[in-house]
Amino acid sequence: MGALAAILLCFSLPAKAADLEVQAGEPAAVVWTVPANPVCGEPFGVKLEVRDRFGNVVTDMDRRSIEMDISVSGRGEIWPKSVLPRSFVRGVAELQMIYKVAERIELVARSTSGAVGRIEARSAPFVVAPGKLSEIRVTQPATARAGVPFRLTIMALDAFGNIIKEFNKQTEGVILSSDGFGRLTPTRVMPAQFGDGVADAAVTYTGTGEVEVRARDPKTGVVGKAPSKLSVASGAPHRFQITAPPAVPVDEPFDVAITALDEFGNVVMDYDAIGTVVYLSADGTASPSPSELPAKLFVKGVAFVRLTYPKTEQILLAASEPGTRRSGVSGTVDIQPGRPRRLELSAPGEADAGAPFAVKIRAVDSKGNPSKSPEGTILLTVQGTVRTTPIEIAPHSFVKAIIERKVSYNVAEDIRITAQDAGGLLRSEPIQVRVRPGMPADVEITTASVATAGSGIPVALTVIDAYRNPVAEFGQGSVLVQVDGPQAPAATEIPAASFAYGKSSATLPYYRTGTVRVIAELPSGRGKRALSGPIEVMPAALHHFDVTTPAAARAGAPYRIAVTARDAYGNTVTDYHRSGSGILIQSSGIGEVQPAQVAPAAFKDGVAQVELRSFVAERILLTASERFGTAAGQSGHLKVNAGPLSQFLVSVAPKVRAGEPFPVRIEAQDMYYNLIREFDEPGKILLASTGQNRISPDVIHAGNFSEGIAIVSVTLASSGKTEITASTEDRRGSGRSNTVEVLPGSAATFRVDVLDQVIAGEPFRVRVTALDAYGNPVEDARSIGQPVQIDIGGAGARPTALTPSSFTPQMFTRGVSEGYLVYPEAGRITIQVKGAPAPALREPPVSDWRPRAEGLFFKAAPDRTDVYVVASGPIDYRASQPTQFGSGLSALVISLPQTGLLRVYDYDALDLPGLRAAKLAGDGGEATRLVLKIDAAYAYSILSRANLLHITLRPGAGAPTPTLTQPTPVERQRPAAAAAPSMADVQALVDKGEYRAAKTAIEQFIAEHPGHPEATSLRARLEKVLRVLGE
């Protein structure tokens, strides 16, 4: 406080203050700074601060002569042990210290000289940890027994002998080993076994003798061992080991060594002291002698004994201790025999042919014991129906007077086997062996060399083994037999039960021709597949023809078809040129084919290439049938197209009016009158009319044609009779129409001629001529129409004064009317005539009347009507007598069995020459009915050709000639919205199982087509099905 007051006093002076340095007082205390975790033997840093009694650091310690000693509270020594003044820097000394004992310590600093008073200071306590592993110390007992655990202590130490208490955190385990031949268990001491750096482990060792036990840390490589070796004695007796010679003479002494061993194979050296008695035995037919050994005979665990054995056989010697499970077995001891006196044979009673079987030859002495091997060659003989060469067996081949030789015999029979030496001194009794057939290995197939398709191929089968012995019984399963040829049927199974003494037979179906073989295969694929010799399969009798045509042909042009003679199985009848009678070729269409006959010689290997011509453009089927047989065949559809343009068919109404448009129908035809539907000729087609009549237009083109037909609207300028012609520019195709009567047109003007002198009040004769627009007289009074008005014109004229004032049309003859008029007044007058236009002629339009592919069609001409029925197959028919009606009509009913027509045609308002109505109803069943309602005055004729039925109606005797000159389309059109389902629609619903929907559809169909037989039948079937289904 005195020093502090002095300072305050100094700063309180009013004079100018000087700079002062205040020094610390005398050292009075030491302050330690120590590390947290120092390690034994490794330097660690500490700090010492010397302070005065006010806590100020004494910064001039290096100039003071104060020394300090350093000590420690623990068991070890600290270095350095003192601190000199020069170690201080500004009052702080930093020291590197070393301590070698792992423990909790405090550092103590004491002044020894130069200090004012004694200075002593202790640091805070801290722990010095052990160093790195440097030593593993092993402690063990002096002795142990094999297999008995002993205690092993393992201690982990650093370089200064400190126990590393946390060694369990530093190691991965300590590995144990030894320098002995035994096995040490366990081989590793786990980290968890170390508590405070020390582990106690129970260890066993399987060997004996002096053993050094080692412990090694794999992480650091530090190895430790006990200071002395461990002496390990054997364990308790566990088994015996018997050592005997491999071969000894019968009844002669031989030495045997018996060793007592513990569980680990160590010799029990003191067995003479701990053992009792050992019994000896053998696994043969006799017992060794002696058979009992006392324990006292064992010397250092081993007993030697001399034995004899009375039988010649291979034995195993056994040693056992009564009352325990201790035992032991020797190796095989061969008690060798004496001289041979005879041979003994043994073999199985049965063997398979060709399969080796063992024959054992045994040389025995006079007592039947195995003897020594024979000294000479032994001959083994097999006797049967087949001579065999004896098998020579050399003496050295015998092993212990026994030899086994494999023998085989290929014939299934009983055989005898004997053996003797070459000199005949050693013989055997014969033995008998039954040789059976071997396993089935093959099948013998016997067949004919020629067969006929469809008639089957007879085969005889024999199941044999590999040596061709018939196999009488071969177990379960079946032999698979099949023809090896194209499109062969599935294999035929012949069960094993069907074979008698290995033989069976079968007839295999085959329907193709050519060279084939028969394959036979044993059950489950045993053995190889057997193959017969070649078999030539010939075609069966002629059954039908295959007709192959091109897709299309041209009318009149040759085309080639192929007709193939086939049997019932589709094979080509290659010898038809010798066996056949020729064929007829027919077309399903209305046209014929040429040639219609083909001779058998045209067939080459069963196929005839025929060049045909067809002349009608249509879709046809060709049928080939044998001339004097029933075989036939039909081709697919062949489309015969029209040929090149040859002519035009020009059709026009018989009467037209001059100056009024009327239709002209022009058909493009080939030379066979076929319509050319694909008409597309380039250039112009010229139209003209005969005479001086002018036609307009006079030129058309291919674009005017549709489906080969052009309907052109034309006009003619002059009245009279004419014909219309159409031709190409190069005249390759031309045609002329029927004669057309061109009537004058409607009256357009009138010409008045006064024939008498006109006197007022007196009649005078006039001629009125009706002219059309071209000045032609209107000859038809009907063309004048209304009465012709006659008026008076001129100045002062009175029109109503003319009598009469009109001419009726009936007064006109060939367009001219003559009559008398009266006019009462004199003067200059003009007579004027006016008339109304006539109505236009009503003529039916021109339509296409060519038959289509299938159905009911009509064609009308002025004096006839043609009715066509075209079916998809041949047509037969039966016509009834016409039924007369009071109205002058009759009904003709024609039955068409099997026409194949599937549609209903109903035309109930026809206006054709002689024909008023027609109805065709058919379902492809037994009958289709065609009903025609015709004028009673018309006669009819019927022609049936292939699939065409042609009915022609002509006027009968005294019948009036019909006035209708133009054909009229007659097919009745029904509104699309009211169309009923077709039979095909109904059948599709039935096929899909939709029976209720099919029932509704068939009701709609019957409502549209009453009485349809197929529909009525189908409705009944559907009603039955729905009743069965409960609907």
In tens, the pLDDT along 458-498 reads 999 988 888 888 888 777 778 889 898 888 888 888 888 88
DSSP for 903-957? --EEE----BTTEEEEEEE--SSS--EEEEEEETTEEEEEEEETTEEEEEEEE-T
Q: Is the pTM of this model over 0.75?
A: no
Mean pLDDT of 320-331: 88
CA 504 → CA 121, 431, 443, 457, 495, distances in Å? Answer: 126, 36, 11, 14, 10
Neighbours of 442 (CB within 10 A): 19
Could you tell me if residue 5 is inside a domain?
Answer: no
Neighbours of 929 (CB within 10 A): 15
CA angle at 513 for the pair 508 and 517, rounded to the nearest 5°: 50
Contacts of 315 (CB under 8 A, 6+ apart): 282, 283, 284, 309, 332, 333, 335
Q: Are residues 531 and 572 in the same domain?
A: no
Identify the pLDDT of residue 1030: 63
In tens, the pLDDT along 908-939 reads 777 788 888 888 776 544 457 788 888 888 88
Mean pLDDT of 966-975: 32
At which of 82, 100, 127 does a domain end? 127
Q: Are residues 157 and 243 in the same domain?
A: no
Measured distance CA(582)–CA(568) in Å, rounded: 18
Q: Are residues 142 and 98 in the same domain?
A: no
Could you tell me if residue 2 is inside a domain?
Answer: no
Please state whether the peptide bond connecting residue 246 to the residue before it is cis, i.e. omega within 30 degrees of 0: no
Identify the pLDDT of residue 536: 92
Question: Picking from 452-466, 542-556, 755-769, which range would have the lowest pLDDT averaged per residue?
Answer: 755-769
Identify the pLDDT of residue 357: 92
**Is the per-residue pLDDT at 885 higher than 70?**
no
Residue 1020 confidence class, pLDDT cut points 50, 70, 90: confident
CB 1002 within 8 A of CB 1015: yes
Residue 841 confidence class, pLDDT cut points 50, 70, 90: very low
Q: Which residue has 């549709």 as its token pair?
A: 706
Q: How many independent structural domains does the chain possess? A: 10
Q: Are residues 305 and 365 in the same domain?
A: no
Identify the pLDDT of residue 812: 76
Q: For helices 1013-1028 and 983-991, what crossing angle results, to 10°? A: 20
Question: Picking from 103-117, 653-667, 877-891, 999-1013, which range would have the lowest pLDDT averaged per residue?
Answer: 877-891
Q: What sign does the dihedral 766-767-772-774 (CA atoms) show?
A: negative
Q: Residue 1029: phi, psi to the nearest 5?
A: -80, -5
Q: Are residues 739 and 758 in the same domain?
A: no
Contacts of 206 (CB under 8 A, 6+ apart): 146, 147, 182, 183, 185, 264, 266
DSSP for 246-295? SEEETT--EEEEEEEEETTS-B-TTHHHH--EEEEEESSSS--BS-EEEG
Q: Which residue has 């000159």 as its token pair?
A: 965
In tens, the pLDDT along 129-181 reads 898 888 899 999 989 988 899 999 999 998 888 998 888 888 988 999 988 88
Residue 961 confidence class, pLDDT cut points 50, 70, 90: very low
Could you tell me if residue 839 is inside a domain?
Answer: no
pLDDT higher at 825 or 637: 637
At which of 500, 523, 538 does a domain end? 538
Identify the pLDDT of residue 606: 93
pLDDT higher at 257 or 845: 257
In tens, the pLDDT along 716-729 reads 888 888 999 999 98
In tens, the pLDDT along 516-537 reads 999 988 876 565 688 899 999 9
Which amino acid makes up residue 695? I
pLDDT higher at 441 or 726: 726
Please state whether the peptide bond connecting residue 430 to the residue before it is cis, i.e. omega within 30 degrees of 0: no
Neighbours of 841 (CB within 10 A): 14
Please state whether the peptide bond connecting residue 862 to the residue before it is cis, i.e. omega within 30 degrees of 0: no
At which of 78, 100, 127 does a domain end? 127
Which amino acid makes up residue 271? Y
Question: Picking from 60-74, 440-454, 841-855, which range would have the lowest pLDDT averaged per residue?
Answer: 841-855
Identify the pLDDT of residue 311: 81
CATH number of the domain where residue 528 is located = 2.60.40.1930
Q: Are residues 897 and 967 in the same domain?
A: yes
Q: Are residues 624 and 670 in the same domain?
A: no
What's 22's DSSP letter?
P
Q: Are residues 229 and 242 in the same domain?
A: no
Could you tell me if residue 668 is inside a domain?
Answer: yes
Neighbours of 187 (CB within 10 A): 13
Q: Are residues 465 and 359 in the same domain?
A: no
Q: Tokens in use for 295? A: 């324990």
Q: What sign does the dihedral 713-717-722-726 (CA atoms) show?
A: negative
Identify the pLDDT of residue 714: 93
Q: Are residues 330 and 349 in the same domain?
A: no
Q: Are residues 693 and 776 in the same domain?
A: no
Instruction: Provide, rounded to the nearest whole percent, the portion of the chain with pLDDT above 70.
Output: 86
Mean pLDDT of 39-62: 88
Task: Count how many Cα atoms sit within 13 Å of the Cα of residue 652 in the half-sphere of its side chain.
Answer: 31
Could you tell me if residue 3 is inside a domain?
Answer: no
Identify the pLDDT of residue 970: 31
Helix (H, G, I), strand (E, B) or coil at 78: strand
Helix H or strand E segment including 445: strand 442-447
CB 105 within 8 A of CB 99: yes
Instruction: Provide, rounded to the nearest whole percent, the portion of the chain with pLDDT above 90.
Output: 24
In tens, the pLDDT along 172-221 reads 889 999 888 888 989 899 998 898 889 999 999 988 889 999 999 998 88
End-to-end CA distance of the chain: 131
Could you tell me if residue 641 is inside a domain?
Answer: no
Residues of the domain holding 328? 237-336
Which amino acid makes up residue 643? G
CATH number of the domain where residue 53 is located = 2.60.40.2410
Measured distance CA(716)–CA(774) in Å, rounded: 11
**Is the per-residue pLDDT at 784 higher than 70?**
no
Could you tell me if residue 848 is inside a domain?
Answer: no
What's 810's DSSP letter?
G
Could you tell me if residue 397 is inside a domain?
Answer: yes
Identify the pLDDT of residue 898: 53
**Is the per-residue pLDDT at 861 higher than 90?**
no
Q: Are residues 1000 and 965 in the same domain?
A: no
DSSP for 382-410? EESSS--PPEEE-GGG-BTTEEEEEE---
Identify the pLDDT of residue 853: 33
Residue 507 confidence class, pLDDT cut points 50, 70, 90: very high
CATH number of the domain where residue 160 is located = 2.60.40.10
CB 651 within 8 A of CB 846: yes
The b/e string for 843-877 (b: 16+ C-beta within 10 A; e otherwise) is beebebbbbeebbbbbbbbeebbbbbbbbeebbeb
Identify the pLDDT of residue 881: 73
Identify the pLDDT of residue 974: 33
Measured distance CA(240)–CA(283) in Å, rounded: 17
CB 985 within 8 A of CB 994: no
DSSP for 325-370? --EEEEEEEEEE-----EEEEE--SEEETTS-EEEEEEEE-TTS-B
Identify the pLDDT of residue 783: 58
**Is the per-residue pLDDT at 748 higher than 90?**
no
Identify the pLDDT of residue 8: 35
